Structure 1
Amino acid sequence: MVTAAQRKSGGTTKTDLVEMAWDPITRIVGSLGIYTKIDWAQKRVVECHSTSSVFRGYSIFMKGKDPRDAHFITSRICGICGDNHATCSVYTQNMAYGVRPPHLGEWIINLGEAAEYMFDHNIFQENLVGVDYCEKMVGETNPGVLEQANRTEAPHAAQHGYRTIGDIMRSLNPLEGEFYREALQVSRLTREMFCLMEGRHVHPSTLYPGGVGTVATVQLFTDYLTRLMKYVEFMKRVVPMHDDLFDFFYQALPGYEEVGRRRILLGCWGTLNDPDHCDFTYENMADWGRKMFVTPGIVVDGKLVTNSLLDINLGIRILLGSSYYQDWTGEEPFVTHDPLGNPVDPRHPWNQHTIPQPQKRDFDDKYSWVMSPRWFDGTDHLPLDTGGGPLARLWSTALSGLVDTGYVRATGHSVQINLPRTVTKPETAFEWKIPQWSNALERNRARTYFQAYCAAMALHFCEKALAEIRAGHTKTWEPFTVPEEGVSCGFTEAVRGVLSHHMVIKGGKIANYHPYPPTPWNASVRDSYGTPGPYEDAVQNTPIFEENTQENFKGIDIMRTVRSFDPCLPCGVHMYTGGGRTLQRIHTPHAFTPAG
């Protein structure tokens, strides 16, 4: 729906404000809608609201369930990253039950998760978000840019095989493009890799608290490695190709760094545990969290605030603000102090009650089913985003400088990735360097580099798993008992970013359970302090570079901004541009000042 509005500014100057809505953008994990007001004279989005029209209520029907069923149930939260939820739930249960899986079981889980990251990032980057940068889309929205792309030599043509930037764009055309089709074939390999480790994608059938039921053999890891090395060779083309493409947009459209740019407020909960250090105890969580192969961390204005999972956990707050729920702070808290005696806030997930309150959407009041997770730094409730997942992960890992496997090394300012010789390509080194901005292009670039990062890590995990088998350590599961009472939490990274599960057990059953995936963090609405969520903040500061007129406007810069966060699958975008209703409104000059 598009409607037009006008306001008077300075007494005489009129600026056209056009209301435009893209709804739905995605039909996965809620129906995402983006509602904007665009200042056509300034070619800039000045206001944005992010909405979700679907309520699911997992936290409600988890109550009273056997804790041992938690991972099977929460896996069904999502049909895309269900294994991430299952893994996080297993971590949560391991803490609750006091069980430490055998090393081999943890290496298998790491191999499964690494395959999931490779699979999902590949199919999203090349077959979904890549379409926003393909020849057909660029030709429809910025024909002048396409002409320039056809004249521009690709700096890394020798590595990826495409002579010009225009050739890269043509290769990304849906169904017809060479690279588009190749990426689909590669995604099959990575899905097979996941199934080798965890039985079924995306709802694992061999993943349990205490380890896995996978039968570990040399042949199993050989089958995984055979596919992995094909992916490694693929990445040696993908990284330089995307560097050329994204760098070109900066050159072709001066100022394009502002598209999707917001303040650097990144959160990463860490992923891929090191079984040599991870015992899943809450008391040691800060220590074993820092040993993860992706380092947890909160990055504010480019600086690392903390890499302690203990600090991260205690700082989480769930604010309601503009979402369709009743407040629960009058309820008796489930947890007043954590296992170390630290006070737990009433708005922490351990204490949350989900009390739905459906109502008519009102952008001045309540307008979405998404709550507003925030991280409290002692002074402010920070609206963290995940950078689509990889940007926060690489940034946090780089700054901490703790990871060094031989294949991957964090330097304090970058992440170095070393990929071994493959069938047709020599040993190759890449380096992801901390960028100047947290914006659309850098979220996408990080997604490419993180695929290479995961491939390198998977090589390390395979070596570790094979060493266990050769040493005769073939056990993959450890028995456990369910306590009558307990509190626990699990932290990992879903493909799109931060994922936590918080559980309270009473009488041997689940009394409270709250999963928080990246979607509510990124798609959160204006909170009780009036602070917009990351989608809203990133979109409403975005300039418009599209060359089309208002009548033919596609909103490509807005779509690139939203999709750069990887909002699950953007499987359908619909916008009606004709027959809109014109609204004549008089506003004060500050009425459309971008918030945040």
Structure 2
Amino acid sequence: MSVIETPNGFSLDDSGQRVVVDPVTRIEGHMRCEVNVDENNVIRNAVSTGTMWRGLEVILKGRDPRDAWAFTQRICGVCTGTHALTSVRAVEDALGIQIPENANSIRNIMQLALQVHDHLVHFYHLHALDWVNPVNALKADPKATSELQQKVSPHHALSSPGYFRDIQNRLKKFVESGQLGPFKNGYWTNPAYLLPPEVDLMAVTHYLEALDFQKEIVKVRTIFGGKDPHPNWLVGGVPCPINLDGVGAVGALNMASLNQISSIIDQIRQFVDNVYVPDLLAIAGFYKGWNYGGGLSSMNVLAYGDIPDRANDYSAENLMMPSGAIINGNLKEVHEVDLRDPDEIQEFVPHSWYKYPDESKGLHPWDGVTEADFQLGANTRGSKTDIHQIDEAAKYSWIKAPRWKGHAMEVGPLARYIIGYAKGDKEITEQINFTLKTLDLPVTALFSTLGRTAARGLEAQWAADKMRYFMDKMMANIKAGDSNTANVERWDPETWPAQAKGVGFTEAPRGALGHWLRIEDTRIANYQCVVPTTWNGSPRDHQGNIGAFEASLMNTKVERPEEPVEILRTLHSFDPCLACSTHVMSEDGQNLAEVKVR
């Protein structure tokens, strides 16, 4: 038995029952979590482990920086495009390349479409089953469900009793077949589920509607980028020329394709306003007493900001998505963030499976080192390929521990909304105040798992509106005679300096994302990605500070330790993406494959 007080204010007790959840995520599942619960089933210690090694930083060394976006984009197939955007921005920063206004609008629309798509899929298909019991929906009265639907969202057309009865019958056949698919292994008798059957039926119905509708959102990135996932990008702008009178031109934007995008944006706004946000509020109303999962959100949050109104201006004043850092819960002071300052952002590895020259010190990403060092602590139970209990006093994760001025930080939609609220952003403040008033909750309710989930829905609504803004802005620019989408003046490497370094950033759906690179003799000398799940999923650092995942689980009451839906509920609220945060190798460390491209 041992009790440790962490510098960032948590008391860790590794006695009591150890509960292991592995994997944590339903689709992108390379994450392990272990907690200790006391005699009252309250979590007193939490250990988050990233169980995958990717190695993109190593793969990129020696390559052409103009190609880096194509490699980094394949870090993940869920947050598709956001790594490519960050990569081209990093190269443009290093080489001093300016992009046209139309390219800025298109990039923003693609990134905003990703935000909406990711948040929608997260809420309905990755996170909803932590709150919604699909089996319980079989007990619902379709007529009462119809009345509920018309009450919470009177403008949604699909709301008749017959419609819900048909969905319920389909669900009944699905359950009776025994082939439950994503509903399998759910804890459907757990008392942690609080929704009435009618709310469950409405939510399951919208689960299916969202599954169908999300393919429409994808078309935005497909038209602009040529394909999805992994649309095409370009250092210096975007690869899609504008030819309004063109017919059937491959890769070119004509009036037909632009009108299609405009129509999809209208549909997105309608679905978010009439389905997503009303569902969010309806479900939250039954769980508003479940106020666990705050973790670092009431203490330390970070955002880089994104969505520049004008091209080539990445100042905080020009970014529509808020930026800054809040420390120790002081909402009256939002600190500026400098991604170039070596003393602000540093990554530590004393509890990560990497080697540093001096592991008591952190490294700024421009000086980052990615060298694998897989070793298990002396007190680990099991083997390298079959871990039963991790030794958190030693190295225990493939995720590094990034810190901002020494502080563990939470990033993501909730962090962005807290920072926006603290800075007095009008739209964000109005959204938050409306939500709190509707649910009759104080502002402190933001600092919770529910607050994190709600922020995603509100941000989806915000992002959908901004898609319309940039679509209208681009069309006005085109009508004014500007159809330029790319600047290739510095495309030739002969125009580059012998040495250069740059940083690109964005706000990915999961939070602050940065790429740092050094270019020497026209080739990549070093490339480091610090991604949202690296921030949130970080292990302990050299001082013993725990990261956002681990902090969010502390002091949570678990109804049934053998059915830890509460752990899933909180960790899923971050939408962990371990492929982004960690790095692929075999258990013995040898090369798995070698690919030669001619």
Q: Same fold (TM over 0.5)?
A: yes
Cα distance between partner residues in 2 of 1:221 and 1:435: 43
1:374–1:383 contact (8 Å) kept in structure 2: yes
Task: Return closer, same or farther for 1:330/1:455 CA change in 2, 3 Å cut-off.
Answer: closer
SS of alignment partner, residue 118 of structure 1: helix
Q: Look up the match of 2:583.
A: none
- Which digits, 9 at most, give the CA deviation of each residue in 1:399-419, with x for residues without a partner? 33467xxxxx355995899xx
Q: Look up the match of 1:363.
A: 392
Task: Return closer, same or farther for 1:120/1:157 CA change in 2, 3 Å cut-off.
Answer: closer
2:48–2:538 contact (8 Å) kept in structure 1: yes
1:538 aligns with 2:552: yes
1:268–1:296 contact (8 Å) kept in structure 2: yes
Q: Look up the match of 1:275.
A: 310
The offset of 1:352, in angstroms, is 1.2
Q: 1:310 aligns with which of 313, 338, 341?
A: 338
1:383 aligns with 2:408: yes
Cα distance between partner residues in 1 of 2:457 and 2:467: 16
The offset of 1:19, in angstroms, is 1.2
Superposition pairs of residues 492-503 of structure 1, within 5 angstroms: 492-503=506-517
Q: 2:200 aligns with which of 169, 173, 195?
A: 169
Q: Look up the match of 2:591.
A: none
Task: Return closer, same or farther for 1:162/1:329 CA change in 2, 3 Å cut-off.
Answer: farther
> How many residue pairs get matched?
494
Cα distance between partner residues in 1 of 2:442 and 2:479: 38
2:137–2:201 contact (8 Å) kept in structure 1: no
Q: Look up the match of 1:146.
A: none
- Which digits, 9 at most, give the CA deviation of each residue in 1:497-546, with x for residues without a partner? 110000111222111110111111111001111111111111132122x3
Q: Look up the match of 2:268.
A: 231
Q: Look up the match of 1:475.
A: 484
Q: Which amino acid aligns with 2:280?
A: H
The offset of 1:353, in angstroms, is 1.2
SS of alignment partner, residue 306 of structure 2: coil
Q: 2:458 aligns with which of 449, 454, 472?
A: 449
The offset of 1:215, in angstroms, is 2.6
The offset of 1:453, in angstroms, is 0.6
Task: Return closer, same or farther for 1:416/1:540 CA change in 2, 3 Å cut-off.
Answer: closer
2:322–2:420 contact (8 Å) kept in structure 1: yes
Superposition pairs of residues 500-579 of structure 1, within 5 angstroms: 500-544=514-558, 546=559, 548=560, 553-568=562-577
1:240 aligns with 2:278: yes
Q: Look up the match of 2:181.
A: none
Cα distance between partner residues in 2 of 1:311 and 1:354: 19
Cα distance between partner residues in 2 of 1:197 and 1:131: 33
Task: Return closer, same or farther for 1:450/1:411 CA change in 2, 3 Å cut-off.
Answer: closer
Superposition pairs of residues 481-496 of structure 1, within 5 angstroms: 481-496=495-510
1:299 aligns with 2:326: yes
Cα distance between partner residues in 1 of 2:55 and 2:92: 24
Cα distance between partner residues in 1 of 2:517 and 2:487: 21
The offset of 1:270, in angstroms, is 1.0
Q: Look up the match of 2:63.
A: 65
The offset of 1:316, in angstroms, is 0.6
The offset of 1:260, in angstroms, is 4.8
1:259–1:557 contact (8 Å) kept in structure 2: no
Task: Return closer, same or farther for 1:433/1:298 CA change in 2, 3 Å cut-off.
Answer: farther
SS of alignment partner, residue 303 of structure 1: coil
Cα distance between partner residues in 2 of 1:137 and 1:21: 25
Structure 1, gaps ≥5 residues long: 8-14, 144-148, 280-284, 332-344, 404-408, 418-428, 571-596
Q: Look up the match of 2:190.
A: none
Q: Look up the match of 1:373.
A: 402
Task: Return closer, same or farther for 1:63/1:433 CA change in 2, 3 Å cut-off.
Answer: farther
The offset of 1:569, in angstroms, is 8.4
SS of alignment partner, residue 21 of structure 1: strand
The offset of 1:304, in angstroms, is 5.8
1:261–1:439 contact (8 Å) kept in structure 2: yes
- Which digits, 9 at most, give the CA deviation of each residue in 1:175-199, with x for residues without a partner? xx31111001110110011211222
SS of alignment partner, residue 325 of structure 1: coil
Cα distance between partner residues in 2 of 1:527 and 1:96: 30
Structure 2, gaps ≥5 residues long: 4-13, 162-194, 243-253, 378-390, 580-598
1:295–1:307 contact (8 Å) kept in structure 2: no
1:103 aligns with 2:117: no
Superposition pairs of residues 65-144 of structure 1, within 5 angstroms: 65-136=63-134
Cα distance between partner residues in 1 of 2:219 and 2:531: 25
Cα distance between partner residues in 2 of 1:346 and 1:94: 27
SS of alignment partner, residue 229 of structure 2: coil
Cα distance between partner residues in 1 of 2:518 and 2:433: 37
Q: Look up the match of 2:241.
A: 215
Percent identity (aligned): 27
SS of alignment partner, residue 211 of structure 1: coil
2:346–2:403 contact (8 Å) kept in structure 1: yes
The offset of 1:297, in angstroms, is 1.5
SS of alignment partner, residue 33 of structure 2: strand
Q: 1:257 aligns with which of 274, 279, 291?
A: 291
The offset of 1:27, in angstroms, is 7.8
What do you get for the CA RMSD once the two structures are aligned? 3.5
1:268–1:298 contact (8 Å) kept in structure 2: yes
TM-score under structure 2 normalisation? 0.75
1:266 aligns with 2:319: no
Task: Return closer, same or farther for 1:513/1:137 CA change in 2, 3 Å cut-off.
Answer: farther
TM-score under structure 1 normalisation? 0.76
- Which digits, 9 at most, give the CA deviation of each residue in 1:315-368, with x for residues without a partner? 11111121111223499xxxxxxxxxxxxx962111111221111253221111
SS of alignment partner, residue 258 of structure 1: coil
The offset of 1:261, in angstroms, is 4.2
- Which digits, 9 at most, give the CA deviation of each residue in 1:247-300, with x for residues without a partner? 2112xxx4x212454443211111112225x34xxxxx5xx2331110212123
The offset of 1:384, in angstroms, is 0.5
Task: Return closer, same or farther for 1:313/1:274 CA change in 2, 3 Å cut-off.
Answer: farther
Cα distance between partner residues in 2 of 1:242 and 1:122: 11
- Which digits, 9 at most, give the CA deviation of each residue in 1:28-76, with x for residues without a partner? 777100011111x322111111112211122222211111111111111
1:260–1:542 contact (8 Å) kept in structure 2: no
Cα distance between partner residues in 2 of 1:360 and 1:122: 38
Q: 2:353 aligns with which of 321, 324, 329?
A: 324
Cα distance between partner residues in 1 of 2:518 and 2:2: 52
Cα distance between partner residues in 1 of 2:338 and 2:237: 23
1:257–1:441 contact (8 Å) kept in structure 2: yes
Q: Look up the match of 1:189.
A: 216
Between 1:131-140 and 1:359-368, the stretch displaced more is 131-140
